[in-house]
């Protein structure tokens, strides 16, 4: 079952529950028939034989009764916003997962440069990132690339020197 089918069924179920709650008897319950299905009149169930329509003729098009007040459009907009937020979060998680090994390598390098533990090395990388205004994953890439011969950018180099100096001074 696709996402659209599940969404339509949820809307249909919601419309049926709402109609059943307000109707005094089963004969007056508003039923809904999704587009593409044909139903004959069925004693008291509200089925009409037309497709995509409520039995009382209130709404046609295969959407829930809430469509008349714009609710499905609001729901679609909310869902679009949620989907966009989730896409952003997934992309950020991918970047974090991809950059994690490089960050760990850079942390090991800091631990060797300023004899310190992993937590202090992490603090150094965070300080370098904040003081150089460069994302931590880019700081890590620059440090690892620096070992391979690529020059480390000046802002990162300066912030690293200052952070290492603070760590060394604190350990004396």
Q: In this predicted model, what pLDDT tens digit does every residue of 134-146 receive, in sequence order?
A: 999 999 999 999 9
pLDDT at 147 over 70: yes
d(CA 39, CA 58): 17
Q: What is the pLDDT of residues 95-133, one digit of tens each?
A: 889 999 999 999 999 999 888 999 999 999 999 999 999
Instruction: Work out the number of other CB atoms within 10 angstroms of the CB of residue 136.
Output: 18
- 60 band by pLDDT with thresholds 50, 70 and 90: very low
Higher pLDDT pick, 12 / 68: 12
pLDDT at 53 over 80: no
Closest alpha carbon to 61 in 82, 39, 38, 36: 36
In the block, residue with structure tokens 């390598």 = 105
- 26 band by pLDDT with thresholds 50, 70 and 90: very low
Helices 154-170 and 136-147: angle between axes, nearest 10 degrees: 90
Q: Which of 5-14, 50-59, 69-78, 95-104 bottoms out in mean pLDDT, i.e. has the lowest?
A: 50-59
Higher pLDDT pick, 40 / 135: 135
Cβ-count burial of 61 within 10 angstroms (0-12 exposed, 13-18 middle, 19+ buried)? Answer: exposed
- Residues 152 and 142 sit within 8 Å (Cβ to Cβ): yes
- pLDDT of amino acid 18: 67
Mean pLDDT of 45-57: 49
Q: Enter the tokens of residue 138.
A: 């880019």
């Amino acid at each position: 079952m696709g996402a659209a089918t599940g969404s339509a069924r949820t809307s249909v179920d919601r419309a049926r529950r709402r109609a059943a709650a307000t109707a005094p008897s089963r004969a007056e319950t508003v039923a809904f028939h999704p587009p593409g299905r044909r139903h004959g009149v069925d004693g008291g169930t509200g089925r009409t034989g037309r497709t995509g329509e409520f039995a009382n003729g209130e709404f046609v098009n295969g959407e829930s009764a809430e469509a008349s007040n714009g609710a499905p459009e609001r729901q679609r907009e909310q869902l679009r916003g949620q989907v966009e937020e989730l896409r952003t979060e997934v992309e950020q998680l991918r970047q974090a997962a991809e950059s994690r090994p490089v960050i760990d390598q850079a942390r090991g390098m800091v631990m060797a440069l300023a004899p310190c533990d992993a937590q202090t090395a992490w603090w150094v990388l965070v300080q370098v990132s904040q003081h150089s205004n460069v994302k931590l994953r880019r700081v890590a890439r620059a440090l690892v690339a620096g070992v391979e011969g690529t020059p480390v950018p000046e802002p990162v180099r300066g912030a690293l020197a200052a952070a290492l100096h603070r760590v060394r001074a604190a350990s004396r």
